[in-house]
């Protein structure tokens, strides 16, 4: 599993997360937890809980119990569960945007290829970083008006996708639908596919959330979308 990204700025840091993945369960205190590092330990415990249960069902008090601290201790770092989720979601968007930036560097002269690769990368990120993805998609974070840093991180990802669509349009590669319709199609297709794969809703078609089959599914969907909104020459 690709390593989580946390050491971006002081308010989004959890550099002690195990790079090989998450340990199962929340029954014991993480070995790297120590006095003074509770914020990071809470983020770590939340990730492990989401990874294990495939849902965001914990409370801050439950995280405190799992870490062996008082029920009030987490509230010194996060005044609500929503703010903890916002920190997880921001880190997820930063990590995804890092991948998008790499693709921009490699494929800047080929906007169609860059756009497709971003779509595939989005799905790959979702299935390999499911805890982050679920936090990023949580309905409590739909309104980000009081979360400017999360909003900026999310908008950077969206802007990157739209930039690739615009680059296609500037080269005369888009069908008459225009950049907005193409961006809507691309974003909806890959996000919907990611959710279906994670929820196990495509197994009858031979696709699941394992990386090889998820990548293949993403390639099929992004190619099909391309036939819909790209010019045929």
- Dist CA 169 CA 4 (whole Å): 34
Inform me whether the pLDDT recorded for 178 exceeds 90.
no
CA distances to 64, 74, 130 from 67, in Å: 5, 10, 22
Going from the N-terminus, what domains does the chain have, and what CATH number goes with each? Answer: 83-229 (1.10.357.10)
Whole-number pLDDT of residue 133:
97
| Average pLDDT estimate for 166-186 | 87
Q: What is the DSSP string of 101-139?
A: HHHHHHHTT-HHHHHHHHHHHHHHHHHHSHHHHHHHT-G
Whole-number pLDDT of residue 228:
66
Inform me whether the pLDDT recorded for 86 exceeds 60.
yes
Confidence of residue 188 (pLDDT cuts 50, 70, 90): very high
- Dist CA 198 CA 129 (whole Å): 10
- Dist CA 121 CA 124 (whole Å): 5
């Amino acid at each position: 599993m690709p390593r989580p990204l946390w050491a971006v700025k002081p308010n989004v840091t959890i550099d002690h997360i195990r790079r090989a993945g998450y340990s199962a369960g929340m029954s014991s205190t993480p070995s790297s937890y120590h006095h003074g590092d509770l914020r990071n330990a809470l983020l770590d415990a939340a990730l492990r809980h989401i990874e294990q249960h495939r849902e965001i069902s914990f409370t801050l008090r439950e995280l405190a119990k799992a870490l062996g601290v008082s029920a009030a201790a987490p509230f010194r770092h996060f005044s609500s569960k929503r703010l903890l989720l916002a920190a997880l979601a921001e880190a997820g968007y930063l990590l995804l945007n890092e991948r998008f930036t790499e693709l921009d560097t490699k494929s800047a002269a080929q906007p169609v290829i860059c756009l497709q690769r971003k779509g595939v990368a989005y799905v790959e990120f979702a299935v390999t970083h499911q805890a982050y993805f679920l936090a990023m998609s949580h309905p409590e974070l739909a309104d980000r008006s009081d979360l400017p840093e999360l909003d900026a991180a999310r908008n950077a990802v969206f802007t990157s996708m739209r930039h690739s669509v615009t680059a296609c349009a500037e080269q005369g590669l888009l069908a008459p639908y225009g950049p907005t319709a193409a961006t809507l199609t691309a974003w909806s297709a890959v996000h919907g596919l990611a959710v279906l794969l994670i929820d196990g809703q495509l197994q009858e078609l031979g696709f699941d959330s394992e990386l090889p089959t998820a990548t293949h599914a993403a390639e099929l969907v992004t190619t099909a979308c391309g036939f819909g909104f790209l010019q045929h020459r």
